[in-house]
Amino acid sequence: MTRPSLLAPSLALAIPPTACRARGRLAVAAPLAAVLLLAACSSTPDTPPPSLSAAEAAIQGVDPQTVNRYAPVEMQQARERLDQAQAAWRDERTGAASRLAEESLAMVRLARARSNAAEAQAAREDVARTIQTLESEVGLAAGRRGAAGNSGTGSRGTGDTGAGSPTGSTGAAPVTPPGR
């Protein structure tokens, strides 16, 4: 014997039994999906990626006069990438934020390297100028000494080695302390 339906016979025929099962599954699946969606949203980290903090610190840690003098383009690109990374972080695009922050950090390192290379080149050129100046001064002093030594007896040009002369082989007169 079949059980009498609690619903009117016309309504019982209108709703098939599979629809009732589907409604039951939907009633269970909807709250579960909502919980999973909320869990996914809350899994976004509250702290920025380490590369973002590192890029910020690197930009703040450079000597602005030196870097802006020798690598202004690279420094500007680093700042722009950092701004883009911060905007991506605010928009919760963590992957893009990390990538842009790493690019910013690379640009800061490039700017520092170019600045250091330019400063080293400038220092090398300065040392080379100083050496040239010293060599010319020493050459002038040697020329003066040579002119003073040659104005003496004139025996240098005759093949005399100066071994028996009181000035020795250098052509300079011996120095006697005052008061002797």
pTM, full prediction: 0.52
pLDDT of residue 133: 92
pLDDT category at 140 given cuts 50, 70, 90 is: confident
**Residues 51-78: what's their mean pLDDT?**
93
Give a yes or no: residue 105 inside a domain: yes
Give a yes or no: residue 12 inside a domain: no
Residue partners of 50: CB distance under 8 A and separation at least 6: none
pLDDT category at 55 given cuts 50, 70, 90 is: very high
Give a yes or no: residue 58 inside a domain: yes
- Closest CA relative to residue 108, chosen from 161, 52, 168: 52
How many domains is the chain partitioned into structurally?
Answer: 1
Burial per residue of 9-46, b for 16 or more beta-carbon CB atoms within 10 angstroms, e otherwise = eeeeeeeeeeeeeeeeeeeeeeeeeeeeeeeeeeeeee
Name, of 13-17, 37-41, 47-51, 111-115, the range with top average pLDDT: 111-115
Give a yes or no: residue 157 inside a domain: no
DSSP 176: -
Q: Does residue 137 register a pLDDT over 90?
A: no
**Residues 27-41: what's their mean pLDDT?**
61
Give a yes or no: residue 27 inside a domain: no
* Contact (Cβ atoms closer than 8 angstroms) between residue 54 and residue 105: yes
Structural domain harbouring 75: 50-146
